[in-house]
Amino acid sequence: MKKLIIVMGLVFTFFACRKPTENTMPVTTVTSQAVITDFVQKVALPQYAGLLTNATLLNNSLKALNTTPNNANLQAARDAWRATRHSWEQCEGFLIGPVEDNNYDPDMDTWPVDYHQLDSFITTSTSFDVATVHSLEQSLKGFHPLEFILWGRNGDATVDSITAKEKLYMVSLSQDIQNSVDSLNYSWASNGGNFQALLLNAGSGSTRFTTRQEAVLAIAACITDICDEVGNGKLYEPFSLYDSTKTESPFSHNSITDFTNNMIGAQNVYLCTYNGQTGNSLSNLVSAKNLALDTKIKTQFAAAISALGNVTLNFEPAIYLQRTQLQNAMTAITTLHATLDGELKTFIQTYVKD
């Protein structure tokens, strides 16, 4: 009996001296203000800055190709186009404020290309300066006319096949993209249009978002809308019509990458993460009250991105040859969209009361 008492005493002493586990530590509540602030400072502003860096490199690469047309400079221009698309498509995860108010999105990213009209413009125009290009209708400027010339209608463009006029046109197209991205950054900057202040001051004098709930709902609506656009538009329309001419980036065969970056961009917003930095997120806000919903959303994001990764062909031939994989991707994305549009929206309306 004495031995038992000694053992029990030791056990009691052991547990009495143990530090609390993480599950017993106090939980810090994530506020809606923290979510808004970190979305602005850790996702939106740095991601737009990264987009500007890539857009500048794209313009410089087209200037180099115009000055010194060779295979290396053509490849560098194509690589720069893809890098800028990578940034832009992820930025489409938060189409909020100036990007839509001032038509930066359609000015840079209208598709499909009307290549007959484009050919006519190149043939007949005597001016390819930036002002002329900027004044063109949206289908004749932005990423996709640039893509059309860099790769060619059938993907067979070469340094020798790209004309002097086309090179001048590309320089101005890329300069116009850079100018738009620069203006987009300025519209968010505290010393510029200061759109960030409208979000940061939501519920505290903002003329755009009278409550913080409105701002959080607007951020959530961004990721909801891009899921709808990808699942029910970018994928579904060419898939349902069996029409590869209606795809987003057909000349470079970058369409699946575009869609994947759209989904990653939306996921970045939900998780408040970009370029290795993280902050207070919608995910944190949801998990504090409804861990099951947060897990569901994160699982559905992963499923949507994974399903796009299962499309092993370029989107254009996949429309005809990998329809099951494309259908699975659309199903995964539309399932996520329904959760965001329903349960996430309801959660914010229920729990964000300020």
| DSSP code per residue over 186-238 | HHHSTTTT-HHHHHHTTTTT-SS-SSHHHHHHHHHHHHHHHHHHIIIIITHHH
Q: Which residues, at least 6 apart from 21, have a Cβ–Cβ distance to it below 8 Å? A: none
* pLDDT for the residue 307: 98
In the structure, what pLDDT confidence band is assigned to residue 115 with cuts at 50, 70 and 90? confident
In the structure, what pLDDT confidence band is assigned to residue 28 with cuts at 50, 70 and 90? low
The residues with which 22 forms a beta bridge, in sequence order, are: none
* pLDDT for the residue 25: 36
Q: How far apart (Å, rounded) are the C-alpha atoms in residues 27 and 35?
A: 16
Least confident segment among 16-30, 273-287, 297-311 = 16-30
Domains of the chain: 32-351 (1.20.1420.20)
* pLDDT for the residue 68: 98
Name the DSSP class of 23.
G
- Residue 289 contacts residue 347 (beta carbons within 8 Å): yes
Q: How far apart (Å, rounded) are the C-alpha atoms in residues 50 and 42?
A: 12
In the structure, what pLDDT confidence band is assigned to residue 298 with cuts at 50, 70 and 90? very high
In the structure, what pLDDT confidence band is assigned to residue 319 with cuts at 50, 70 and 90? very high
Torsion of CA 157, 159, 162, 163, to 10 degrees: -160
* pLDDT for the residue 192: 97
- CA–CA distances in Å: residue 261 to residues 37, 58, 275: 23, 18, 14
- CA–CA distances in Å: residue 73 to residues 61, 80, 176, 228, 266: 7, 10, 20, 37, 33
Question: Is the pLDDT score of 210 beyond 60?
Answer: yes
For 257-320, give the DSSP string.
Answer: HHHHHHHHHHHHHHHTEETTEE-S-HHHHHHHH-HHHHHHHHHHHHHHHHHHHT--S-HHHHHH
Q: By C-alpha distance, which of 96, 326, 344 is closest to 231?
A: 326
SS3 55: helix
Question: Is the pLDDT score of 16 beyond 90?
Answer: no
Question: Is the pLDDT score of 42 beyond 80?
Answer: yes
Question: Is the pLDDT score of 6 beyond 50?
Answer: no
- Residue 326 contacts residue 235 (beta carbons within 8 Å): yes
In the structure, what pLDDT confidence band is assigned to residue 297 with cuts at 50, 70 and 90? very high
